[in-house]
Amino acid sequence: MVTPGLTGGTLDRADHLRNDSEALVAAMSNGRARLMKLDGLHPEVSEDGRLGWTTLADAPDDAMLILLGLDESARPHFAAYLPGTRAAEATPMRSPAMIHALTTLQPGEAATYAAARSLIDWHSRHQYCANCGTMTEPFRAGWARKCHHCGAEHFPRVDPVVIMIAEHGGRALLGRGKGWPPGRYSALAGFLEPGESIEEAVAREIHEEAGVRVSAVRYIASQPWPFPSSLMMACVGMAEDDTLTVDPHELEDAIWVERDVVRSVLAGEPGPFLPPPPYAIAYTLLREWAGV
């Protein structure tokens, strides 16, 4: 079983509690309840890669509590969102502190953080009803918002993203985006659109970005990616030929890399590219493809 970074969270999401206001009040009154320690949206991370938690007493008075779930001892775990704040903007994905946190957190802990971060960020950018423009209110323990004007219910977005390599003659197609760290190459990626399957989105994106036609797309693995709330779906497609026509709006460069070279780069040897970080599913995808 493939286990990408940011998967393996151990909290039971306890969906049945979200609509049960009595149970929810009990969970919030539970003296053992824990609140995720966040500085803005930056998590506290211990030396052994675990998240920091405090008690609900530390939640600001006007905070909204999001029920993340229950641990094995049925202890409720929450995250707090302060209406009107924009914590995500202060802790972007590429900040050194965020990269340090993602590098240090155990995958299951990062998964719990990912759920909290995506939800808090979603609330901060979705306070109004897209249907009628009225201010909405959170409900379902922070897992939805409701418009009391038009009655519309809004649920957190999860945006499916395909991330993939094309394969040709035992080589993988890697690309680099504009502004990436020097030497970094990775799998191509793009948002899946309405009206297409995963396999069709993979073929479209590889053709748009690199001019390569692929078929026989196979799914490898998936992971949540909380910047702000993507579902990364990693695939491999077999390329019909290896001629590249790079779209300069999408990619700065694209290269074909032999399987042996991918393997040695992932093993830490110097090579023609710097590999993606282990918490990114591109790393898992390359490992699976290279048979590491």
Report the interface residues with a second copy, using CB under 8 A.
1, 4, 7, 9, 13, 15-16, 111-112, 114-116, 118-119, 122, 125-135, 143, 152, 154-160, 191-200, 204, 208, 215-216, 219, 221-224, 226, 229, 231, 233, 247
Residue identified by tokens 């790393």 is 283
User: Which candidate, 220, 219, 222, places its Cα nearest to that of 233?
Assistant: 222
Ranges of H-type helices in the chain? 15-18, 21-29, 87-90, 96-104, 107-125, 198-210, 259-266, 281-290
Work out how close the CB of 107 gets to a second copy at its nearest, in angstroms, rounded to a whole number.
11
Work out how close the CB of 76 gets to a second copy at its nearest, in angstroms, rounded to a whole number.
16
Work out how close the CB of 130 gets to a second copy at its nearest, in angstroms, rounded to a whole number.
4
- d(C-alpha 211, C-alpha 201), whole Å: 14
Query: Nearer Cβ to a second copy, position 231 or 255?
Result: 231
Query: Nearer Cβ to a second copy, position 140 or 259?
Result: 140
Query: Nearer Cβ to a second copy, position 129 or 282?
Result: 129
Query: Nearer Cβ to a second copy, position 83 or 133?
Result: 133
- d(C-alpha 285, C-alpha 264), whole Å: 15
Query: Nearer Cβ to a second copy, position 218 or 260?
Result: 218
Task: Give buried/exposed letters for 163-192 (b at 16+ CB in 10 A, else e).
Answer: bbbbbbeebbbbbbeeebeeeebbbbbbeb
Pairing of strands 171-176, 253-258: antiparallel
Neighbours of 194 (CB within 10 A): 4
Q: What is the largest CA-CA distance in the chain?
A: 63
Amino acid identity at 209: E
Work out how close the CB of 122 gets to a second copy at its nearest, in angstroms, rounded to a whole number.
7
Work out how close the CB of 79 gets to a second copy at its nearest, in angstroms, rounded to a whole number.
11
State whether residue 220 is helix, strand or coil. Answer: strand
Query: Nearer Cβ to a second copy, position 112 or 186?
Result: 112
Query: Nearer Cβ to a second copy, position 94 or 191?
Result: 191
Cβ-Cβ contacts under 8 Å for 103 (sequence gap 6 or more): 277, 278, 279
Work out how close the CB of 257 gets to a second copy at its nearest, in angstroms, rounded to a whole number.
25
Work out how close the CB of 249 gets to a second copy at its nearest, in angstroms, rounded to a whole number.
8
